[in-house]
Structure formats: structure tokens, C-alpha cells
Chain A
Amino acid sequence: MDRSLNLLDLALGFDQEQADASPLSGKLVLIEDCVETSGSFVLHQLMKRVLSPHSSEALIFLAFARPFSHYDRILRKLGCSLSTQKANNRLVFFDMLLMKCSGVEETKENASAVAKLFREIQETVRKLCSVANSNVTVMVDDMSLQEIASTGNSNQDHVLDFLHYCHTLTSESNCSLVILNHEDIYTSMERPAFLLQMVCLADVVIKAEPLASGLANDVHGQLSVLNKGISSNSGRGSSRNKLQNFQFRIKDNGIDYFYPGCRS
């Protein structure tokens, strides 16, 4: 890669030279954030990386939180046109904002809606794989909203099932799965099954937190990246199960990462 890698890229293992596959292929990346600090910028960065002109990867994006125009505008500032990528069939954008407006009442409907969504994704993955023979990344921009959308009758299992199904894609088609969720929703629960399951399944957990010392203009928060990294395709078989901490500053055209106290 000709571009310089930032700390997050390094933590995710983008520095390792690999033939064609991205270090995230076949992995589940979980991004956790909280009310004070949004983790969506990590999503944007990964989107940009997947859709970069150097790779031939494709992206399936499930938007629960924001409309296409929002992402389009952000990614354009990062130097990536979503509309073009859409036209090139490298991006498939599922607008899920109004998912489940009707048929909230019946659980069966809900189950089928989630199942239907998964089948659509599966179909798209198959199509993308057959056409471009490339890695496919599936992104969910807000899992907690999907939970709300599909748990009209407090039946949380559907989303968990969906998660498990999507997880099968990572092994089946060597997809990457990137999921954003809000951690603080679950802190008050006694046994947050949903969160624990996700953390358990995830190969990489990226956590965005505010600084303990409060808000600052030049440091927007800190990121901790746990890379469980027991992937077999890393070649060297190096087990890089390590936790890294660094701070970040979000700008319109990119994100600065730096170690605490090392801001240049």
C-alpha cells in the first residue's frame, strides 16, 4: 500500500502484506460506542478502505441510522464517491430506515422480515462473489436500531439469529462483517446476552469512549482495539491477540490517531 497507515489500520493488521485478501476477510468486527462518543467514524473509515480504488472489494451496507445522503456527503469529503461505487456495483445500499413500519404486531411477520433481509443479503453476497470474485464486506450501521425495529414484541432472538446467520457468511463466503452497536445500552442489564454474544463472536472489538477528563477540542476520544487475530490466513500464524489504546481526533477529511500524550 502506498498510503501511510494510521494507528487503527495497524491495529487491524493492514500492515501485513497479503496476496489479495484484506486482513479483515472472514472476520467479524464489532464497533462499540456510547452516547458521548459516536463510533460511526470508524465505520466511515472502513467504508472508504473497502471501496478504495486499489482493492476490488464490495460492500453491502445496511443503514438503520442514517440515510444515504448523509453517508454520501461524509464519504465524499473523505474522497470516495458512494454514488459512483453504487453504479460500479461495488456498493449495495440497503435503506432500512423505514423497515417494519407495517406488520409490527405479529411476531411471525417480524421473523419473516428478518429472515427475508438475510436472504436478500445472502443473495447479494452470492451475486457479488460470482461477478467480481472479490471479498464482500457487510456493514450494519446500528445494530441496536435493528433490535428495536425487529423486536416489536420484546423478542430479542430474531436479531441474534440474524447475527448468527450473518456470521455464517464470514466462514461460508469469506465475508467481513462490520457491526456498530452501542455498548452503554447494555451496561445496566444483568446479563446482556446480546452484547456478550456479539463480543464473543467478534474477532476484532473496537471501542470508542470519551476521555475520562472530559471533552476537549483537540482530542475527541479514545479508541481501544482488541484484535483477537487467530486467523489462519495470516500466513505466519502469529497470534496477535493484543489490546491497543490510542486517542483520536475526527476531521472532515480524515481522522488523526495518536498515542496518549504523543500528539504532534
Chain B
Amino acid sequence: MAAPNVRSSSFSRNVAVVSSPQIPGLKCGPNGTTFISTGIRDLDRILGGGYPLGSLVMVMEDPEAPHHMDLLRTFMSQGLVNNQPLLYASASKDPKGFLGTLPNPGSSKEDKPTAPDLDQAESLRIAWQYRKYMENQKNSIDDYSNDFDMRKPLERQFLAGRPIDCVSLLDSSDLSVAQDHCATFLSKFLRNSSNIASIGRIAIQSFCSPLCEYSEKESEMLLFIRLLKSMLMVSNAVAIVTFPPSMLSPSTSKRLQHMADTLLSIKAIPDGDKELEKLLTGYKDINGFLNVHKVARINTQVPVILEAKTFSMSLKKRRFVALECLNQAPVDGSSGTSYGTSGSCSGSSNSGALDF
């Protein structure tokens, strides 16, 4: 077998994103990093390829919007489809039950004939993608990421016999159980050579949920995240942790944000908001907003500056998660500039939460 294309040795070319055919679900990134897919193609594109191995992804939840679950679900499903071991922890009594809600891979392209309401630009884009698909038949893109049909539960074949570890955060009074699980899980993916044998994915949902007994001990939570981050740095794994910032003291929340390599946040979209409806095209289809606060920069000091920080989350054909830059409808004067949404307090005092 040829040597894998994935290099983590110190001397590597600054290659553009190239998919590595040896191990499905991996992509070489710049500066010797390796990406795995987020499970949402648009998010992969926004983040420059996906989540880099060894990074900690934090998602700030909005109490009014459940879309952080979509990020978790696609992340987990993508891992299972690519046959990557998974560790899932949540504050529910039965974390295994969540696996039943994972989406199944589907193809948003094949549905094309059945979706007559596509506008022209959309079909053009799809046709272009389809042509690309034809060009490399044994398509490597599909090894890397899939589209997930949020309405179809993940098929049994992806769940049965797969190494999935589910942990309930409710059971223990402190985080030592979760910590042990993470440590044993990550010890299987230690980064010791340039060869990457397997990739681990960790998903922790509602980390600071008030249901957990440790929710009062913020320093313990910080310690846990710091330890997780340290362990990740030497592993071929990615952890995604969602937490509700409103449940934490502001300084602890900031500390968590600092520790994140990639920091995302979810915002609910106010229902029937006339002003916003005027402002945004496609307001009816938008389910929520995704803010990208930080993009992981591993092995480099150059920050990633995105075109936009706020993206609208919608379900394309009611099935596939799509992220788009906000399209501002033409408005007159400055009526739009004074408007802003902030997750916790829905007043209009905070301008600049949306950027176009």
C-alpha cells in the first residue's frame, strides 16, 4: 500500500485542500492540518474544509433554537457513515436514544427532477456540481462528506456494530466519569506518526446543562474542557461541545470561548418579525442563524477572515441543512441599520449582531 497522503510531519508542502484517497473522510489542509467533514457541506466550505483534527469546536446554544442539535447530528452521522468511532455524552437519561434521531445520508442532487420549484440559479449550480460529479466518477468528494436528510433516520447498518460510546452526564456528581470516558476514547487515537489509522469524534451536548449536578462548579467544567483540549491536541480526533452561555457566569463563558479552536453560535430567528422580514430575502425559509466567531488556526498565526460571520440556516427541500450568507433585500435609508438580534434579550438595543 502506498504511503498515505496525510502528512503531519514537520516538512510538508503548503498544499491546497486535496482529498486523501487512502482513508475516507479525510482531507489535507494547509499547515499540515487534516480536516474531517462537519457533515454539512456548506459549513465545510465556510470553515475552509471542515474541522481540523485535534481541534475543539464549541457551539453556543440559544435557548430558543434547537439548531445546535443539527450540527451535532450531522457531525455524528458523518462520522458513522465514514466508520469513525464516536463518543457521545449528553445530559439526558438515555443518551443512546439520541442516536435514533441521527439523519441518514441522502443525495440532494438526485431529487432534482422531483423538485420543480427550483429557481434557475439553483438548478444551474446543481448542474455544475453534477458535471463535476461526472468528471471524477469514483468521486472522492463523496468519501469526504455527505448530504444528510434530516427527515430520515440513520439506517441500521451505520449503527449496528459500530464503536459508539454513549455517556450520560446526569449519572455522576462530577465530571470524572465523562473525563475517564474521553481519556480512554482519545487514547486510541494518539497522534504518534504521520500515518493516521483512525479518527475519533466526540460530541458533547448541553455540556453545562443545569440538570447536571456539577453545573454549579464552573471551575470543574473549565478544568474538564481544558483537559479535553489538551488531550485533543495530541490525538487524531475532533470534539464538538455545545453549551448554553446564558447558564454560565460571563467570565466562565468567555473562558470557554477562548479555549475553543472553532467557535460557533446559534441564534433563533424571531417569528413573524416584520422588520427582519423586510430586510432579508427568503426570510420564511430561514430557521435560525449560525454565527462563526472563530475558525481554528492550528500551526499558523494568520487569522481566517470570513466574508461574513452570520449565516442563515435553512432546510433545503425541507431535508438538507443549508447555510447561506444573509441576502439583504434592498431597503431604503437607514431603517435596517438600527436593527439587531441578540439571543438572550430580544431588544433592539444591540446593533451589529447581524452582519451582511
- Give the A-B contact count at a CB cut-off of 8 A: 88
Query: For the side of the interface on A, what is the size category?
Result: 35 or more
User: Inside 8 A of B162's CB, which chain A residues have their CB?
Assistant: none
Alpha-carbon distance between A143 and B259 when the two chains are bound, in angstroms? 12
Query: For the side of the interface on B, what is the size category?
Result: 35 or more
Q: Of the candidates B233, B257, B300, B306, which one forms a contact with A35 in the assembled complex, judged by CB atoms under 8 Å apart? A: B257
Q: A35-B294, A98-B230, A148-B222 are in contact. Are A252 and B251 (CB under 8 A)?
A: no
User: Inside 8 A of A188's CB, which chain B residues have their CB?
Assistant: 249-251, 254
Q: Which of A40, A76, A97, A216 has the most CB of B within 10 A?
A: A97
B68 close to A (CB within 8 Å):
no
User: Inside 8 A of B250's CB, which chain A residues have their CB?
Assistant: 187-188
Alpha-carbon distance between A246 and B89 when the two chains are bound, in angstroms? 45
B263 to chain A, nearest CB (A): 7
Alpha-carbon distance between A74 and B298 when the two chains are bound, in angstroms? 9
- Establish whether residues B258 and A144, one from each chain, have CB atoms under 8 Å apart when the complex forms: yes
- Establish whether residues B254 and A185, one from each chain, have CB atoms under 8 Å apart when the complex forms: yes
A251 close to B (CB within 8 Å):
yes
- Establish whether residues A70 and B219, one from each chain, have CB atoms under 8 Å apart when the complex forms: no
- Establish whether residues B226 and A44, one from each chain, have CB atoms under 8 Å apart when the complex forms: no
Which of A7-15, A151-159, A170-178 lies on the face that meets chain B? A151-159
Contact with B along A80-110 (1 / 0, CB 8 A): 0000000000000000011011001000000
B223 close to A (CB within 8 Å):
yes
- Establish whether residues B251 and A73, one from each chain, have CB atoms under 8 Å apart when the complex forms: no
- Establish whether residues A145 and B10, one from each chain, have CB atoms under 8 Å apart when the complex forms: no
User: Inside 8 A of A67's CB, which chain B residues have their CB?
Assistant: 233-234
- Establish whether residues B300 and A148, one from each chain, have CB atoms under 8 Å apart when the complex forms: no
- Establish whether residues A252 and B255, one from each chain, have CB atoms under 8 Å apart when the complex forms: no
User: Inside 8 A of B263's CB, which chain A residues have their CB?
Assistant: 35
- Establish whether residues A73 and B32, one from each chain, have CB atoms under 8 Å apart when the complex forms: yes
User: Inside 8 A of A186's CB, which chain B residues have their CB?
Assistant: 251
B309 close to A (CB within 8 Å):
yes
Q: Of the candidates B230, B302, B306, which one forms a contact with A251 in the assembled complex, judged by CB atoms under 8 Å apart? A: B302
A69 close to B (CB within 8 Å):
yes
Interface residues of A in 173-230 (CB under 8 A from B): 182, 184-189, 214-217, 220
Q: Of the candidates A38, A73, A144, which one forms a contact with B299 in the assembled complex, judged by CB atoms under 8 Å apart? A: A73
Q: A185-B251, A188-B251 are in contact. Are A69 and B10 (CB under 8 A)?
A: yes
B254 to chain A, nearest CB (A): 5
User: Inside 8 A of A98's CB, which chain B residues have their CB?
Assistant: 227, 230-231
Q: A148-B255, A152-B219 are in contact. Are A66 and B10 (CB under 8 A)?
A: no
- Establish whether residues A73 and B305, one from each chain, have CB atoms under 8 Å apart when the complex forms: no
Interface residues of A in 135-162 (CB under 8 A from B): 144-145, 148-149, 151-154
B285 close to A (CB within 8 Å):
no
Q: A148-B223, A148-B226 are in contact. Are A44 and B301 (CB under 8 A)?
A: yes
User: Inside 8 A of B254's CB, which chain A residues have their CB?
Assistant: 35, 182, 184-185, 188
Contact with A along B134-160 (1 / 0, CB 8 A): 000000000000000000000000000
Alpha-carbon distance between A97 and B309 when the two chains are bound, in angstroms? 30
A41 close to B (CB within 8 Å):
yes
- Establish whether residues B223 and A41, one from each chain, have CB atoms under 8 Å apart when the complex forms: no
Q: Which of B258, B259, B301 has the most CB of A within 10 A?
A: B301
A72 close to B (CB within 8 Å):
yes
User: Inside 8 A of A123's CB, which chain B residues have their CB?
Assistant: none
B93 close to A (CB within 8 Å):
no
User: Inside 8 A of A41's CB, which chain B residues have their CB?
Assistant: 301
Q: Of the candidates B226, B234, B297, B352, which one forms a contact with A145 in the assembled complex, judged by CB atoms under 8 Å apart? A: B226
A5 close to B (CB within 8 Å):
no
- Establish whether residues A148 and B219, one from each chain, have CB atoms under 8 Å apart when the complex forms: yes
A32 to chain B, nearest CB (A): 12
- Establish whether residues B257 and A38, one from each chain, have CB atoms under 8 Å apart when the complex forms: no
A120 close to B (CB within 8 Å):
no
Contact with A along B190-227 (1 / 0, CB 8 A): 00000000000000000000000000000110110011
B227 to chain A, nearest CB (A): 6
B355 close to A (CB within 8 Å):
yes
- Establish whether residues A74 and B258, one from each chain, have CB atoms under 8 Å apart when the complex forms: no
- Establish whether residues A72 and B226, one from each chain, have CB atoms under 8 Å apart when the complex forms: no
Q: A70-B298, A252-B301 are in contact. Are A144 and B223 (CB under 8 A)?
A: no
Alpha-carbon distance between A216 and B293 when the two chains are bound, in angstroms? 14
B31 close to A (CB within 8 Å):
yes
Residue of A nearest to B255 (CB): A185
- Establish whether residues B233 and A66, one from each chain, have CB atoms under 8 Å apart when the complex forms: yes
- Establish whether residues B309 and A215, one from each chain, have CB atoms under 8 Å apart when the complex forms: yes
B303 close to A (CB within 8 Å):
yes
Q: A35-B293, A73-B32, A250-B301 are in contact. Are A185 and B258 (CB under 8 A)?
A: yes
- Establish whether residues B220 and A101, one from each chain, have CB atoms under 8 Å apart when the complex forms: no
A17 close to B (CB within 8 Å):
no
Alpha-carbon distance between A251 and B303 when the two chains are bound, in angstroms? 9
Q: List 26 A-B contacts (CB under 8 A).
A: A35-B294, A40-B301, A41-B301, A67-B234, A70-B298, A70-B299, A72-B10, A74-B299, A74-B300, A98-B227, A98-B230, A98-B231, A101-B227, A145-B259, A148-B219, A148-B255, A152-B219, A152-B220, A184-B254, A185-B254, A188-B250, A188-B251, A188-B254, A250-B301, A250-B303, A252-B302
The 5 closest A-B pairs by CB, nearest first: A188-B250, A97-B230, A73-B299, A185-B254, A148-B222
